[in-house]
Structure 1
């Protein structure tokens, strides 16, 4: 049918000429036949053109229609309670498995360190602190306006650590010995209650104040008989040097201290509760996953902090130590992250903040835990 545009002009020429001279019978017949062909072709293409025209109009409508708005993910910054190591690895697994993205969040994670962590959350430069020991924020919670939105360890990792040949086999053996402690350190919060709970005469235990990074070398060099530290970090490093080393976990002797938390600003919980829920659920899911596959969490973390996780086996031991503290009777019923007013009341008394007018519920909330409890 592409020849049709050429046929019609010729017909028009012939028709114009016909006004000047009469047609022969044969010419008239040919003109009639040509006109019939043209008419038939035109009528034959009418339906397809209409259909094609409708399709073209629809396509135009679709191309000019306003696209559905795409919601941009909400940017969230998490800072670790300390330098990157095994116990923090699951948060990187959450990134790898898209748990935060599922909640519409674009999360970045940064390691903390001495004096760097919860303070940045308080002033709004970071949104969440991960595995923050209560000692690091509770005494200043009212002024900092911080809130625990998930309790990640039902039992505190604080402990007393000794070498295998120290002769210290039970807590009573600490009497007459020198213990390296850190004044105001997180692992020292439960030390005095531990001595009291085990019937050890605190006056008979000599202590020396050491910087946290100096305690492990002092123990290995024989400068002290024992040190305070964490099962999730210090103890694992000591075990690398002395496989016979052992420790006394405060929680095993009835010292009920809640462990590290996920902490954020109270204002964020009020202004963006869905963000808080998304972060909390992503973290809890990843920690639950890690119980079944700790190596996967370590591998994920190594993608972000390769130097910190170069010795994957040691870092996995740290994570496994933490996972052992994560569960308890409360998590069996309510899932990971749950805590009670009684737990926080006991902690307030231990930290000597129980005389204030601030209720325990000012420090924590279970409101942002998943509706369906995560029970590993």
Structure 2
């Protein structure tokens, strides 16, 4: 049964807020005859990259405006900071990684997921295709860059176990996100742990070498990634706005998947930190592959399956990323999925 469903760091959250990117698809006034427009702020998980194309495309195409939303997109500084900014109602909605969202809810941040859109984890070991590393077994004796504390790194030992290896088979070098990419480009490490739809296209563009991925999901380890979050107060006091935002986001993701090139072109010039157009294109096309699981194939973006939520909670609990004491309802409000 269905229920609803990087490389630069260290800059203060205030700087990210100063980089707010105003959507140009709406203004105060009427929206389709249904009422006045609502000014809505959305904080991303990071500086804009290809995964975020649907938001810009949705603004350009008037999708958010059709739902009565004048959307302002703000750069983020990591999913944890985004989750906390939403909980403190510094912004209306957030776009954040599910493990970080759930961990913050466990810590008392008053937010809920209102729709997961990246339902297949992008977590992967990323290596150069000409490195000779073709299968998980080829990782024996390699040095892999990681970032301690993030979900892909924390789950890495589970990945190694799933493919028949042990932690001692691989040397892990702890670096920040920018340092991981630099180390791989310079040959100091054999690969890195991260999001295949983010770092991989960047590394490929900078090196001129093809990047391959050993995906956690191919080893049977899947958990939810990025999605839409809202403050509990907004969910309680203005559910119509949450429904409108979730519906518009779903429509924007579908429209962007139907026309990837146009979606990426809508990002042009929107932020100085944005990658080059070819990197954005590669990132968004990689993101499209993550929008569903086997249980939700054919459903609208953002519609999740109960079994995938349960699997996510179990895996993240086993990895000690969340408490393991919460139920799906403690983290996710299923009232706002398309068709709910």
Q: Normalization by structure 1: what TM-score? A: 0.75
More helix by share: 1
Structure 2 match to 1:228: 193
- Indicate how the Cα distance of structure 1 residues 292 and 124 shifts in structure 2: closer, same or farther if over 3 A, else same: same
Name the CA distance, whole Å, in 1 between partners of 2:46 and 2:305: 25
| 1:370 is the counterpart of 2:338 | yes
Name the CA distance, whole Å, in 1 between partners of 2:124 and 2:111: 27
Q: Normalization by structure 2: what TM-score? A: 0.83
| 1:280 is the counterpart of 2:246 | yes
Name the CA distance, whole Å, in 2 between partners of 1:329 and 1:167: 31
| 1:359 is the counterpart of 2:323 | no
Deviation of the 1:262 alpha carbon: 0.8
RMSD of aligned Cα (Å) = 2.1
The answer to whether the 8 Å contact 2:83/2:111 transfers is no
The answer to whether the 8 Å contact 1:341/1:361 transfers is no
For structure 2, list consecutive stretches of 5 or more residues without a partner in the other structure: 1-32
Name the CA distance, whole Å, in 2 between partners of 1:302 and 1:336: 24
Structure 1 match to 2:21: none
Q: Secondary structure at the match of 2:296?
A: helix
The answer to whether the 8 Å contact 1:338/1:366 transfers is no
Deviation of the 1:242 alpha carbon: 4.0
Structure 2 match to 1:255: 221
**Paired positions, count:** 302
| 1:100 is the counterpart of 2:64 | yes
Deviation of the 1:208 alpha carbon: 1.4
Structure scoring higher RCO (CA < 8 A, sep ≥ 6) equals: 2
| 1:245 is the counterpart of 2:214 | no
The answer to whether the 8 Å contact 2:99/2:225 transfers is no
| 1:300 is the counterpart of 2:266 | yes
The answer to whether the 8 Å contact 2:254/2:300 transfers is no
Q: Whose Rg is larger?
A: 1
Deviation of the 1:71 alpha carbon: 4.4
| 1:145 is the counterpart of 2:110 | yes
- Indicate how the Cα distance of structure 1 residues 321 and 333 shifts in structure 2: closer, same or farther if over 3 A, else same: closer
- Indicate how the Cα distance of structure 1 residues 207 and 309 shifts in structure 2: closer, same or farther if over 3 A, else same: closer
Q: Secondary structure at the match of 2:289?
A: helix
Name the CA distance, whole Å, in 2 between partners of 1:328 and 1:344: 11
- Indicate how the Cα distance of structure 1 residues 274 and 70 shifts in structure 2: closer, same or farther if over 3 A, else same: closer
Deviation of the 1:108 alpha carbon: 0.9
Name which of 237, 248, 257 aligns with 1:271.
237
The answer to whether the 8 Å contact 1:181/1:227 transfers is yes
> Which of 356-365 and 232-241 deviates more?
356-365
For structure 1, list consecutive stretches of 5 or more residues without a partner in the other structure: 1-68
Deviation of the 1:120 alpha carbon: 1.0
The answer to whether the 8 Å contact 1:302/1:310 transfers is no
| 1:76 is the counterpart of 2:44 | no
Name the CA distance, whole Å, in 2 between partners of 1:159 and 1:117: 23
Name the CA distance, whole Å, in 2 between partners of 1:192 and 1:70: 52
The answer to whether the 8 Å contact 2:101/2:113 transfers is no
Name the CA distance, whole Å, in 2 between partners of 1:341 and 1:332: 14
- Indicate how the Cα distance of structure 1 residues 181 and 355 shifts in structure 2: closer, same or farther if over 3 A, else same: closer
